[in-house]
Amino acid sequence: MTKFLPLIWVGIWRKPTRTVLTALAVLAGFTLLGTLGAVDAGFRHARDRSPLDVLQVDARFGTPLPLAYLEQIAAIPGVTAMVPRAFLGGFYQQPRNPIFFVATDERFFSFRPELLVSDAQKRRLAETPNGVLVGTSHANKYGWKTGDQIPLQSPTLQKNGDKTWMLEIVGVFDTTFDPPGTARFTMMNYSYFDENRSGPRGTANGFMARISNPDDAVRISGEIDALFANSGAPTRTMSERTSTENNLQGLGNINVLINGVAAAVLFMLLFLTGNTMSQSAQERMSEFATMKAMGFEGRDITAILIGESLMQCLPAAIIGLLVGVKLVVLSPQNFPRDINPPWLAITVGVLAAVIVALVSSSLPAWRLERRPLTEALRD
């Protein structure tokens, strides 16, 4: 087969403009497929990385949950660890720079092993009441460094009525989920937040609970909610996995969109490459007939056509897929991302390119085969 490679190579450069344009169209199409694949992988990843053994206990009706719930929940058999979460939202300098701090304590790190926070940073957070840890994305965007004092404008007032919270950056960190420099997570000390706010002291927006057996998630969630059902602040508990699935579902049916667009792109490309191959085969009808006269068989010619089609589609498709994946990483929109290359999408994409190449060369190959040799020789 390798003997045919020089033939295939000269075949595709017979009309360089046509080949380059076809390859560019394939590149554009597969850029899109790469983008879709990466977005899909991001959603999958967001789901898969959400633990099954961590429950989120939230306020069913938005009422703040008393901290006393912590002990009551921790007493349920199967619950091994707990941490409170409260939220301080606001903006930095301008309303278009919103930031959202999670107020919690050192137990939080065991629930979020993906945060690459050093022991020194954890210590500094514990020692600095108004200290905050910020993701590299925010730090890069606003030029924050460790030791900086930053004002946060928040509708959650301090107890003195002030709406400006002065916070001190005690560390900047990455996560294992985000490409370096893009981590968006931010956290602060719950104790400082709770002491200084004007709202109901001693409450949290929710808790996280680790359970020893993920299979118990539904049962324990039910027990937690039953415990507080008749209180003034009922809870709503579900595993992080379920919660993520809910959130993703709320965005609408992503799969239908991705599949629909991918189908349209492939259909368009199939037509385009098919037409290129047909034209190119048509022009060389008598050349192929001459080769057949020399003893080349129909399947040799077919192999050459498939080779040509693969050679103009496959490299373009692979480059396109990689560009598409990269585009998602660079996209201004905050899609869920997978830091790892989306191998599944790339594999499927390459397969799709091979199929496009096969199908687009099969029609001209069939036509060549059908045309009587003695007539084709006269073309």
Partner 1 sequence: MLALSQIAAVTMMNLRAIPQRAGASAVIVIGMACVVGVTLSVLSLSEGFMTAIRDVVPKDAVVVMSQGARFPQARFISRDNALTIIDAPGISKTAEGKPRAYGDFYAGVPMTKRGDGFTTFVSLIGQTQAAIASNPDMKIVEGRSFQPGLHELLVGRAAQQQFVGLDVGTTIPLPQGDWSIVGTYTSINALAESALIGDAETLMSAFQRPVFATVQVRVEGAQGFDRLSAEIAANPTLTVNVRWLRDIAAEQAEQLNSLLRFVGLTLGIIMGAGAVFGALNTMYSAVSTRQREIATLRAIGFGPAPVVISVLVESLALALIGAFVGAAIAWLAFNGNVHTVGGALFELRVNRALITLGIGMATMVGFLGGLLPAVRAARAPVIDALRTR
Partner 2 sequence: MSVVSLRNVVKHYTRGKERVEVLHSINLDIAPGEFLALMGPSGSGKTTLLNLIGGLDRPSAGEVTVGGERVDALSGGQLSKWRARHVGFIFQFYNLMPMLSAERNVELPLLLTPLNSAQRMSNVAAALELVGLADRAKHKPGELSGGQQQRVAIARALISDPTLLVCDEPTGDLDRETAEEIMGLLQMLNKQQGKTIIMVTHDPKAAAYASRQVHMDKGRLVEGEARTAAA
Q: Interface residues with partner 2 (CB under 8 A)?
A: 3-4, 6-7, 10-11, 13-14, 286-287, 290-298, 300, 372-374, 377
**Other beta carbons within 10 Å of 63:** 15
Residue labelled with tokens 């609408």: 252
Of these, 105, 148, 223, 245, which contacts partner 1 (CB under 8 A)?
A: 245
Distance (Å) of CA 366 to CA 8, 291, 305, 313, 370: 18, 16, 11, 20, 6
Which SS3 state, helix, strand or coil, does residue 235 take? strand
> Which residue number, 256 or 294, has a Cβ lying nearer to partner 1?
256
Closest CA to 101 of 79, 57, 134, 124: 134
Segment 335 to 374, residues that bind partner 1, using CB under 8 A: none
Concatenating the DSSP letter of every residue in 328-365 gives: HHH-SS-----SS--HHHHHHHHHHHHHHHHHHHHHHH
Report if residue 113 touches partner 1, rule: CB under 8 A. no
Report if residue 37 touches partner 1, rule: CB under 8 A. no
Question: What, of partner 1, partner 2, none, does residue 109 touch, CB below 5 to 8 Å by kind?
Answer: none
> Which residue number, 351 or 373, has a Cβ lying nearer to partner 2?
373
Taking each helix axis as running N to C, give the angle between helix 343-370 and helix 16-48, from 0 to 180 degrees, rounded to the nearest 10.
140
Report if residue 275 touches partner 1, rule: CB under 8 A. yes
> Which residue number, 254 or 377, has a Cβ lying nearer to partner 2?
377
Closest CA to 262 of 92, 111, 38: 38
Q: How many residues bind to partner 1 according to rule CB under 8 A?
A: 51
Of these, 261, 318, 348, 377, which contacts partner 1 (CB under 8 A)?
A: 261
**Residue 202 tokens, joined:** 């001693």
> What is the spatial distance between Cα 131 and Cα 165, in angstroms, rounded to a whole number?
11
- Residues 72, 74, 78: CA angle, nearest 5 degrees: 125
Question: What, of partner 1, partner 2, none, does residue 180 touch, CB below 5 to 8 Å by kind?
Answer: none
> What is the spatial distance between Cα 192 and Cα 182, in angstroms, rounded to a whole number?
27
Segment 132 to 161, residues that bind partner 1, using CB under 8 A: 153, 155-156
Which SS3 state, helix, strand or coil, does residue 113 take? coil
- Per this entry, what is the length of the chain? 379
Distance (Å) of CA 49 to CA 77, 102, 235: 25, 20, 24
x-marked contacts with partner 1 along 38-77 as a string, rule CB under 8 A = ----------------------xxxx--------------
> Which residue number, 136 or 312, has a Cβ lying nearer to partner 1?
312
**Residue 109 tokens, joined:** 């790190």
**Cβ within 8 Å of residue 270, ≥6 positions away:** 356, 359, 360
> Which residue number, 53 or 308, has a Cβ lying nearer to partner 2?
308
Question: What, of partner 2, partner 1, none, does residue 295 touch, CB below 5 to 8 Å by kind?
Answer: partner 2
> Which residue number, 6 or 161, has a Cβ lying nearer to partner 2?
6
Report if residue 252 touches partner 1, rule: CB under 8 A. yes
Question: What, of partner 1, partner 2, none, does residue 77 touch, CB below 5 to 8 Å by kind?
Answer: none
> Which residue number, 14 or 219, has a Cβ lying nearer to partner 2?
14
Residues that bind partner 1 (CB under 8 A): 17-18, 21-22, 24-26, 28-29, 31-32, 35, 60-63, 89, 98, 153, 155-156, 163, 229-230, 232-234, 236, 238, 245-246, 249-252, 257, 260-261, 264-265, 267-269, 271-272, 275-276, 278-279, 332-333
